[in-house]
A = this chain, B = another copy of it.
Amino acid sequence: MKEMAVELGDRSYPIFIGDGLLSSKQIWSRLCRTGQIMVVSNETIAPLYLNQVMDALAPRKISTVVLSDGEKYKTLDAFNQVITQLLEKAYSRDCTLVALGGGVVGDITGFAAACYQRGVDYIQVPTTLLSQVDSAVGGKTAVNHMLGKNMIGVFYQPVAVIADTQVLSTLPDREMSAGLAEVIKYGLIRDPDFFCWLENNIERLLARDTTCLVHAIEQSCRNKSDIVSLDERESGIRAILNFGHTFGHAIETATSYTQFLHGEAIAIGMLMAADLSKRHGWLSAESVERVWKLLNRANLPIGLPTKLKAEELRAIMAIDKKARNAKLFLVLLKQIGEAFLTDQYREELLTDTLSEFILAGG
């Protein structure tokens, strides 16, 4: 088992990474100092892993809430469902919520923990690669609003993250690849050595090699946690974590969230950002080629449906919440392992990039 810390002063917390941690009574004992625990999960994950967690937590008093599975259920209603359950069971401020599931469960549970009686403890137990390397770390919580994703939420750090590689054995291949998109992102934005390591090990990761998985999750969490420690509330450097995301969100919106998984949209978005960087002479053609090859080997898509229009994507990007005031900022690359935030790009080159990817998908 690997253990690392997210350094945030009095809000610091450990991340545990290893095989079979869900069932480790030792870890749960260390984390749950209180008697009242509520495990929040979803219909897909609960049948697979809820019993393991309950056994490891026994004989503590535990309630469970099982939410519907899917991004469309990441709503204020689901949040209120958790709160209502806590109140009906008379949970006090001294309770702990456990988020057992992917990013949706983690985001709802974190937000509920942040708001229940103005804040109770919560532990992230991410069950997808994507949430293990991304959403479970860093304290971003939220639910969606009809008019926008993640529009209602707060920054609220968990007391711990437990990333169990064993749960990835039941993860569908497509979701595994989608998770690898975010893993590759860390190499691209600030860790060239890790990018090289991924080039040497991507097939082992797809095959769920435990040692490789632990290393990849550890490096991802370390990179993310370094950035979060520097800028917890995303007022500066943390923005580079959005590499590929302004493009990716536009792709998800334009395809009504039906065609691509989040990680897949981000993969295309990262390649777009690399391509746009190249068009400005900031990134070499060889580097773009390396990005393309690695994403391709990870079984990630690289083109868009031809029915989309470049102007449509551009318009959606403009209303992305990362747009500050007038000009849209983008995270681009100077080289593999070095991202930067800029509004000094040329609009016509952005159009060229968008058009190229729509053609590539044809």
A residues sitting closer than 8 Å to B (CB atoms) are 76, 80, 83-84, 87-88, 90, 92-94, 114-119, 140, 142, 145, 147-148, 150-156, 233-234, 319, 321, 323-325
Please state if A93 and B321 are interface contacts (CB–CB under 8 Å). Answer: yes
Identity of the chain B residue whose Cβ is nearest the Cβ of A34 in the assembled complex: B325
B152→A140 contact, CB < 8 A? no
Instruction: Give the chain B neighbours of A114 by CB distance below 8 A.
Output: 154
Describe A's contact surface by its main secondary structure. Answer: loop
How far, in Å, is A78 (CB) from chain B's closest CB?
A: 12
Whether the Cβ atoms of B115 and A152 lie closer than 8 Å is yes
Q: Which residue of B lies closest to A80 (CB)?
A: B76
B88 contacts A147, C-beta separation under 8 Å = yes
List, in ascending order, chain B residues with CB within 8 A of A325's CB: 92, 94
In the complex the two chains form, is B324's CB within 8 Å of A87's CB?
no
In the assembled complex, the Cα of A119 lies from the Cα of B87 at a distance in Å of: 26
* A117 touching B147 in the complex, CB below 8 Å, given contacts A92-B325, A94-B325: no
Other CB < 8 Å A-B pairs besides A83-B152, A84-B147, A88-B147, 19 of them? A76-B76, A76-B80, A83-B145, A83-B151, A90-B319, A92-B321, A92-B324, A93-B324, A116-B151, A116-B152, A117-B150, A117-B151, A118-B140, A118-B142, A118-B150, A118-B154, A118-B155, A119-B155, A154-B154
A323-B90 Cα distance, complex, nearest whole Å: 11
Chain B nearest CB from A229 CB (Å) reads 16
- Please list 7 pairs of residues, one from A and one from B, whose beta carbons are closer than 8 Å in the complex, sorted by A's number: A84-B147, A87-B148, A92-B325, A115-B154, A118-B140, A118-B233, A154-B154
